[in-house]
Amino acid sequence: MTGDPEEGMLSWDESVFRNEHVFEIDYVPETFRHRDSQMQSLTYALRPAVRGSRPLNVMVRGPPGTGKTTAIQKLYDEIGAQTRDVQTIRVNCQVNSTRYSVFSRLFEGCFDYEPPSSGISFKKLFGQIAEKLVEDDRVLVVALDDVNYLFYENEASDTLYSLLRAHEEHPGAKIGVIVVSSDPALEVIDALDTRVQSVFRPEDVYFPVYDQPEIVDILHERVTRGFHDGVVATDVLERVGSLTAKSGDLRVGIDLLRRAGLNAEMRASRTVELEDVEKAYETSKYINLSRSLNSLSENERALLEVLVDHDGAQAGEVYERFSEETDLGYTRYSEIVNKLDQLGLIDAEYAEIDGRGRSRSLTLSYEPEAIRERLE
C-alpha cells in the first residue's frame, strides 16, 4: 500500500527553513571556510591597533562574492570582543560614494548619531571626528568597502588623503584604512593621486574566486544551518554548486538556495527539488545586476533606459536620445558612460566610423529585457 501523498506536503504553518536569516546578505557565518591565509594577513595588519598603535593599511582585492566583506566583519567582531579601545567602522562606498558622505558615516560611528544634514563644513566634520578619537584615546580602523565606487565618482584620492594625513592636522589621531575593491580592472594604487601614493603603502590581500568543491562545502554549512534535515539532497546541492561556480560569485549560490526553498514552499513540498533550483536561477543569476542598478542615480538609470532601446548604437546617437530625457551636457553624459562601463553594465568600445573618425559604440553587458525588467 502506498504512503499518504500528503506526507510530503507542508501544512499551512510549516516551513522548509530552520533559520531563513542564514541566507540573508548581512549574515556572518560562525565558521568562515577557505580563507585562513587572508584572515592571517588581515590579523597581522590590524594587530597593532589592539595594542593602541596605528595599524598597517590594507588593500583587499578580489571579485564580488569571494568573502572580502565577511572577512572584515569577522575580524571586526574579534577586535570588539578583545578591546573597547579600537573603533571599527565599515563604510559601504556603493551607498556613500563621496568624501563628505564617507566622513558622515564615520561621524555617526564615533558619536552614535548622525551629523547635521546641512550647515557643517567638511573641515569641521573631520575635526570633530579626530578630536573625539584623541579625547577617547581610541584607534579608528576604517574599511572602505567597494572603494571602486569612490574612484568612479573621482572621490577616492581626496577621501584617502584626508584619512591618511589625519595625524598631521590632529596630533594623536590614529587611523588605519582598509580599502576593499571588487573591480578586477581597477589598479587602485595607480589610480590614486601622487600625493596619496606617497603615503599609502598598504599590505596586499587577495581573495580568489572559490572553486566548486569550496563552494559546495560552504553552501553545505548554510544548508545545515538554514534548512531542516533532509530538505536539500546531495544532488540538489551539487547542482547549486555548479551554477554558483559558473557565476563565480558565492552570493549567487546563497540567494539561489533561499529562492529554491521558497519555490519548494510554494509547491507545499517538504524538499527542494532540481526544478526549484532551475526556476530560482533565472532570478539569482542577475543578483549582481540588481545590486548595481540599485546604486545608480536617476540620470544613470535614464541612460540605461535609453540603451535598452538603442543597444549597440554610437555614443553620439545615444546622447541625442539621452539629452532629450535629462537636458544634461555631453561632459556629464560622458562621465556617466565611463562609470557604467567601469561597473560592467555596458561595454563602451572605440571603433573607426567611415568619414567620422573614431567613435564609441555602447553595448549592454546583459540582455536588454533583463535590465528593463529590473529598472521598472
User: In Å, how far from its chain's centre is CA 94?
Assistant: 7
For residue 129, give the C-alpha cell.
571626528
- Local structure of 122: helix, strand or coil: helix
Cα 80-82-87 angle, rounded to 5 deg: 35
User: In Å, how far from its chain's centre is CA 165?
Assistant: 27
Q: What is the spatial distance between Cα 139 and Cα 177, in angstroms, rounded to a whole number? A: 11
Chain position carrying cell 599590505: 203
Radius of gyration of the chain measured on its C-alpha atoms? 24
Q: Is 176 annotated as a binding residue?
A: no
Q: Is 210 annotated as a binding residue?
A: yes
Task: Kindly state the greatest CA–CA separation across the chain.
Answer: 83
* Neighbour count for residue 351 (Cβ, 10 Å): 9
Sign of CA dihedral 69, 75, 79, 80: positive
Is the Cβ–Cβ distance between 139 and 126 less than 8 Å? no
- Bridge partner residues of 181 (DSSP): 61
Strands (E), the chain: 58-61, 86-92, 139-145, 174-181, 203-206, 346-353, 357-364
DSSP 225-252: HHB-TTSB-HHHHHHHHHHHHHHT-HHH
216: left (phi over 0), alpha (psi -120 to 50) or beta: alpha
Q: Is 363 annotated as a binding residue?
A: no
Q: Is 206 annotated as a binding residue?
A: no
User: Helix 287-294 to helix 368-375 angle, to the nearest 10 degrees?
Assistant: 50
Q: Is 321 annotated as a binding residue?
A: no
Q: Is 70 annotated as a binding residue?
A: yes
Q: Is 68 annotated as a binding residue?
A: yes
Binding positions are 66-70, 210, 222
Binding positions for ATP are 66-70, 210, 222
